[in-house]
Every structure is written in C-alpha cells, then in structure tokens.
Amino acid sequence: MSNFNKNYPKTKMIVPPSNTLIPERDADKLPVLDVRNLGIDFGGLKAVDNFTLTIGKTEIAGLIGPNGAGKTTVFNLLTNVYKPTRGAILLDGEPTAGKEPYEINKMGIARTFQNIRLFNEMTVIDNVKVGLGGSVKENLFDALFHTPRYRKNEKMLNEKAYELLGIFGMEDIAKLKAGNLPYGAQRRLEILRALATKPKILLLDEPAAGMNPSETAELMENIRRIRDTFNIAIMLIEHDMNLVMGICEGIAVLNFGQIIAKGTPDDIKNNETVIEAYLGRKENKKNA
C-alpha cells in the first residue's frame, strides 16, 4: 500500500485528531477511526480522493452526499473490500493496511450492506450466531465430537444471540429463514449480525432504506440505544435527512469522491456548497 502506512509504527499511539468532528465527551480519547487522505482510482477515475476524517469513540457520524458520490466506496475502503490506492486508515491507532476483510472485522469494524446481504438459507438466530462465532474458542475436534467445550460454547452463543435479538424484539422469529423475512426485519437482522462481532465501530449503509416514517423513527431510537448500550461509534450512510440530522453528531458530505463539508448538523444545513451539491447552482435553477 502507500508508503505512509508502511512507515507508520505498529504500536498504539495517540494521534492528534486531524480533522475533528469528535463530540466533546470523546475529545480526550483516541479516535476510534482516523482516516487520512484515503483514495482509490478505478481505471484512472478518482472514485474517492483525499478522504480525511476522524470519528470519536462513541460518536454517531453521518456520511451523506448525492447518488454516485462514492459513499459506499468509502465503506468498502474502510473494510478493505477494495484496497485503497492512497492514504491510511487507523483503527484505534492501528493501521489496517494489507489486512483481509475478515481481519478488519476482527480488528473492530463491522458493517451492513446497501443491498442486504444476509445468509438467506440460514435461520435468523444462526445469522447472529455466525457473527458471534469469533467470540468463542472452538477447534475442529470440538465441533466434530461435540465435546463439553462445544456444549458450553453453544449454550452461551444461544443466550447471547437471543439477547441480541431482543434489541429489536426479534426473539419470536429466531427460527425463521432469514431470506423469508420482510425487508425491514432483514435490515434489522443485518445490524444485529454486525453487532454480534463486537465491533468498535459499526458502519451502516442506508439502514433506513425502504422503511416507512414510523419504522425510521424507531430505527433512530434503536441506533441511539445501541450506541449507549454497547458504547461504540456508529457511522452511517443515509439519504433520509430527518434521520441524519436527528441522530448524527458529526456529518461529512461527499461529492464526486471528495469531502466538500464537515461539521455538526446545523453547520451542514446552512452550508452553501452542500446545498449546491444537492440542488445545483442557484443561477442554473433560475435559467431553467
């Protein structure tokens, strides 16, 4: 990857917040995510460029922008699904360069997907248990012969999984096939599966897509509740401005792969460049 990353010491160190969006309560702690000058090219096109952002330990951050601005690409870069062309990502002070996506997850980044990606043929509870799998030690021998350790693990996994399902009140549909759930329930299950991997930061890609206003309101409440119970940071991509402005403490606006504005919801609401990016120039509007 970039030289920057290679030279970066592998030990934990406090990094001064480069571009602060961090709420005051997290200001004295190491930011959970410190992204610097991140960029990727697709065949000469700079899909994302110069992406710099820090996210505090318990912050709820928003990433917004018009369609095709590169928001999901940023998520793919953060989870190493795409390998960045430039820049560095520090998770809790540790560089993530060169890691496989599954290692990134183990380091503490969990995500959901814009086009829901559940394990459709598996039951709801098994989807959550897959996420929980990393938290138990179990070798192939335990699995093949169902040793006492396996039984202990399985019991614990079941309890934890039901506990997680309880967040969204999904215990009673635990035995249904995930692929057969209604859309909203699938989105909620995806969040639970991500939470099950015990992340430090949770990336939500359009969590409210396809939800009606009352479901969205409930989701907002739940996102806040998840942050408060698990004490983690949450970063979300969303088009629903009510949701974004309602729960995000810091917002970054992306347009053509570049951050055009950063700040609190109030800053963003009144930012000229942002309004322009979403609605077009005022002059053009008059002409049209």
Partner 1 sequence: MRKCVYVGFIVKNILTIIFRKVTQVTNLIVTLIQGISLGSIYALIALGYTMVYGIAKMLNFAHGDIIMVGAYLIYTSVALAHCSPILGILISVASCALLGIVIEFLAYRLLRRASSLSVLITAIGVSYFLQNIALLVFGSEPKSIPVLFNIPAIQIGNSITITGETMLTLGLTVIIMTALTIFINKTKLGKAMRAVSEDKDAAMLMGINVNRTISITFAIGSIMAAFASLCYGISYTYIKPTTGSMPGIKAFTAAVFGGIGSIPGAMLGGILLGVIEKLSMAYISTQFTDAIVFGVLILVLIIKPTGLLGKQIREKV
Partner 2 sequence: MATQINKPLEKTPISKKLLNKDTITVFIVVAFYAVYSTLIYTNTAGRQMLNMAITISCYILMAVSLNLVVGFLGELSLGHAAFMSVGAYSGSMLSVALLQSTAMPLYIRLPLAMIFGGLVATIFGIIIGIPVLRLNGDYLAIVTLAFGEIVKNVIINLDFTGGAIGYDTKAIYSTPKALLPYAAAAVIISVLLIINLAKSKHGRAITAVRDNKIAASATGINITYYKLMVFAFSAFIAGVAGVLWGHSLSIIKAAKFDFNMSIEILVIVVLGGMGSIRGSVIAAILLKVLPEALRAVDDYRMLIYSLLLILMMLFNSAPQFAKLREKLNIKNTLVYFKNRKEKKGGNVE
Summarize as ranges the residues that interact with partner 2 (CB under 8 A): 79, 81, 100-102, 105-106, 110-111, 113, 117-122, 126, 129-131, 133-134, 136, 138, 140, 142-146, 150, 153-154, 157-158, 162, 171-176, 180-182, 185, 193-194, 196-197
Name which of partner 2, partner 1, none residue 283 binds, using a CB cut-off of 5 to 8 Å depending on partner kind: none
Q: Which of 161, 137, 165 is nearest to 149 (CA)?
A: 137
List 5, 54, 58, 72, residue binding partner 1 (CB under 8 A): 72
Distance, CA of 168 to CA of 277 (rounded, Å): 36
List 5, 58, 76, 186, residue binding partner 1 (CB under 8 A): 76
- Smaller CB separation from partner 2, 96 or 255: 96
Q: Which of 114, 112, 152 is nearest to 135 (CA)?
A: 152
- Smaller CB separation from partner 2, 81 or 260: 81
CB 244 within 8 A of CB 254: no
Phi and psi for 132 in degrees, rounded to 5? -75, -15
Positive or negative, the Cα torsion across 31, 201, 274, 266?
negative
Centre a 10 Å sphere on the Cβ of residue 91 and count the other Cβ atoms it contains.
21
Confirm or reject binding of residue 162 to partner 1 (CB under 8 A): no
Quick one: 90 exposed, middle or buried, by C-beta within 10 A (0-12, 13-18, 19+)? buried
- Smaller CB separation from partner 2, 63 or 170: 170
Tell me the number of residues near partner 1 by CB under 8 A: 5
Confirm or reject binding of residue 80 to partner 1 (CB under 8 A): no
Residue numbers 98-137 binding partner 1 by CB under 8 A: 113, 115
Name which of partner 2, partner 1, none residue 119 binds, using a CB cut-off of 5 to 8 Å depending on partner kind: partner 2
Distance, CA of 104 to CA of 78 (rounded, Å): 9
Name which of partner 2, partner 1, none residue 176 binds, using a CB cut-off of 5 to 8 Å depending on partner kind: partner 2
User: Which H or E element spans position 262?
Assistant: strand 258-263
Distance, CA of 220 to CA of 84 (rounded, Å): 31
Confirm or reject binding of residue 81 to partner 1 (CB under 8 A): yes
Q: Which residues make up the interface to partner 1 (CB under 8 A)?
A: 72, 76, 81, 113, 115
